[in-house]
Structure 1
Amino acid sequence: MPAPHDVPGPGELVAAVREFLERDVLAGLDGRTRFHALVAINTLGIVERELELGPGHAERHRARLRDLGYEDDAALAAAIRDGDLDDRHAELRDALTEMVRDKLAVANPGYTQE
């Protein structure tokens, strides 16, 4: 972990809270409170995965945009709306598929398991 912060890092702290909720708290809850605890546990899992995977995903996302010839998502979206990529359908489809896979790897990795 870079200075000035010591260990544990943010990912380890989030994991510790998530594990505490899963192991020690959840069993004693029911109804609405249990539901909200499950939402909190899921949210902490998302944060863990984003901390772990986010930097690599960000770099790959920038590379995909660069390969398609656009600086950011807004420019890519405008080009799609304007039909500028109609002749590059397969390339665009592949890039968008990978973008969605990266998002799902953080939001809910189970959606991409085959």
Structure 2
Amino acid sequence: MQDEPTPAELAKAVADFLRSDIAPLVSGHQAFKLRVGINALDLVVRQLTEAGQREVMELERLKVLLGRADGSLFELNRALAEKIATGAIDLSTPGLKEHLWQTTLDKLAVDQPNYASYKRETERENG
């Protein structure tokens, strides 16, 4: 089994190469398409390096919130959605609002870490 470089390191290296060596050479629509490709590689890197731990924490919050000991992230999210839809759980349920907020921030950290509202909220929380 190949241990190094990791998939995240490979994707980052390609994104860095494209950003520093190729991007200055292209313009117009090709530059736009190149930025889209670089952004996709950056997203893959964040998914490989950050999403896993955030999903573990989300799963644990869901288990506590739903009072369940098992189930996949998909299954527990579906169960939560059903409980919200039927009114069995609402924002007055202890922990729901905090879970939804943290899950949103975790997803933005991976998908859109430069989103202005995300940055503002994390700056407010950190200090």
TM-score, reference length from structure 1: 0.89
Q: Which residue pairs with 1:75 in the alignment?
A: 79
- TM-aligned CA deviation for residue 22 of structure 1: 0.2
Q: Give me the CA root mean square deviation.
A: 1.5
Q: Residue 109 of structure 1 aligns to a residue in which SS?
A: coil
How far did 1:39 drift? 0.7
The answer as to 2:28 corresponding to 1:24 is no
Show structure 1 runs of 5+ residues with no match.
none
Q: How far apart in 1 are the matches of 2:94 and 2:43?
A: 30
Q: Give me the whole-angstrom Cα distance separating, in 2, the residues matched to 1:87 and 1:59.
A: 23
Q: 101, 105, 114: which is aligned to 1:101?
A: 105
Q: Of the candidates 7, 11, 16, which is equivalent to residue 10 of structure 1?
A: 7
Shift of 1:86: 2.5
Identify the residue that residue 119 of structure 2 maps to in structure 1: 113
What is the 5 A alignment of 1:56-75?
56-69=53-66, 71=71, 72-75=76-79
Runs in 1 of length 4+ with deviation above 6 angstroms?
none
In the TM superposition, residue 43 of structure 1 has moved relative to its aligned partner by: 0.8
Between the aligned partners of 2:30 and 2:94, the Cα distance in structure 1 is 46
Aligned residues: 111
Give matches, 1:38-53, under 5 Å: 38-53=35-50
Q: Determine the C-alpha separation between the residues in 2 that align with 1:41 and 1:86.
A: 40
Normalised by the length of structure 2, the TM-score is 0.81
Taking the aligned partners of 1:90 and 1:28, their CA distance within structure 2 comes to 54
Counterpart residue type for residue 32 of structure 1: H
Cα shift at 1:87: 6.3
8 Å Cα contact 2:91-2:97 kept in structure 1: no
